[in-house]
Structure 1
Amino acid sequence: MRQATTILSFQTAGRGFIDITTAMEEWLAGTGIGEGLLTLLCRHTSASLLIQENAAPEVRVDLARWLDRLAPEDAHYARHEEGPDDMPAHLKTTLTGVNLQVPVRDGHMMLGTWQGIYLAEHRHRPHRREIAVHLLGE
């Protein structure tokens, strides 16, 4: 059994979804590990990770609108020191999650045809986000 780890950084442009599938595949290819389990952890509480539709951008538009309805900025939250988008960002992260596990076979993630890995930025302003990556396999 072998393992590989790293921390990958991504610059966001503010709220939205960043497709990080290619970055994950490139890192995976460099490990030389062909079979195993890939684990990803977003090291933040106001950004998250999702496996989502990668062909129709309207899916991500609808997902963002749905999350906005569930965690609106104009609600009366106890925490508001960092601005109106802070607490909704934490709630959206709770709903969508900060970690993923993806099986690896023949050196590739076993994602479905229409699946991609996305970093979801839930804050308005740009941020540098870190994803801890761990691969265990052979």
Structure 2
Amino acid sequence: MRQTIHHLSVQASHRGLVEFTGEVRRFIADQGIRTGLLTLFCRHTSASLLIQENADPSVRRDLERYFASVAPEHAGRYEHDTEGPDDMPAHLRTALTQVQLSVPVEHGQLVLGTWQGLYLFEHRRHTQPRDIVLHLLGE
């Protein structure tokens, strides 16, 4: 059994979903592990990870609108606003999603569905590089 770990930096140009499936596929291909499990972990509290449809962009737009309605930005609504009015809504959106994913690897490939991709869900307006830790275990 082998394992490897890698830090992937993902930069969103704006709030919303950014696909990074290709970078993860390249990482797996370089490791030579044929069967195993990939764990992805986002080291931030105002961004999250999703496996979501990568064919129709309207899915991503609908998700972004939904989360904006569930955790809206309104000055004075939240006690925690240290970094601005989008600070606490970003934490709420992360709490409603996830910061860790597990994806099987079979025949040296991610076992994703036909229309599935890996996404960083950036919840802040002022974006920053996000550190995604990839841990691959297998043989």
TM-score > 0.5, shorter chain as reference: yes
Instruction: Give me the TM-score of the superposition, normalised by structure 1.
Output: 0.98
2:109 is aligned with 1:108: yes
Counterpart code for 2:109: H
2:34 is aligned with 1:61: no
Question: 1:111: how far off?
Answer: 0.2
> What RMSD over aligned residues (CA atoms) do the two structures have, in Å?
0.8
Alignment gaps of 5+ in structure 2: none
- Aligned equivalents of 1:122 and 1:95: distance in 2? 12
Counterpart code for 1:59: V
Counterpart code for 2:21: T
User: 2:34 maps to which residue?
Assistant: 34
- Aligned equivalents of 2:35 and 2:20: distance in 1? 20
User: 2:77 maps to which residue?
Assistant: 76
Secondary structure, counterpart of 1:6 in structure 2: strand
Question: 1:125: how far off?
Answer: 1.1
Counterpart code for 2:86: D
Alignment gaps of 5+ in structure 1: none
- Aligned equivalents of 1:43 and 1:65: distance in 2? 24
- Aligned equivalents of 1:83 and 1:14: distance in 2? 16
Q: Report 1:1-138 matches (<5 A).
A: 1-74=1-74, 76-138=77-139
Would the aligned equivalents of 1:11 and 1:129 in 2 still touch at CA under 8 Å?
Answer: yes
- Aligned equivalents of 1:47 and 1:38: distance in 2? 19
Counterpart code for 1:119: L
Secondary structure, counterpart of 2:114 in structure 1: coil
Tell me the percent identity. 57
- Structure 1 range deviating more: 17-26 or 7-16: 7-16
Aligned residues: 138
Counterpart code for 1:11: Q
Would the aligned equivalents of 1:14 and 1:127 in 2 still touch at CA under 8 Å?
Answer: no
Instruction: Give me the TM-score of the superposition, normalised by structure 2.
Output: 0.97
Runs ≥4 residues deviating over 2 A = none
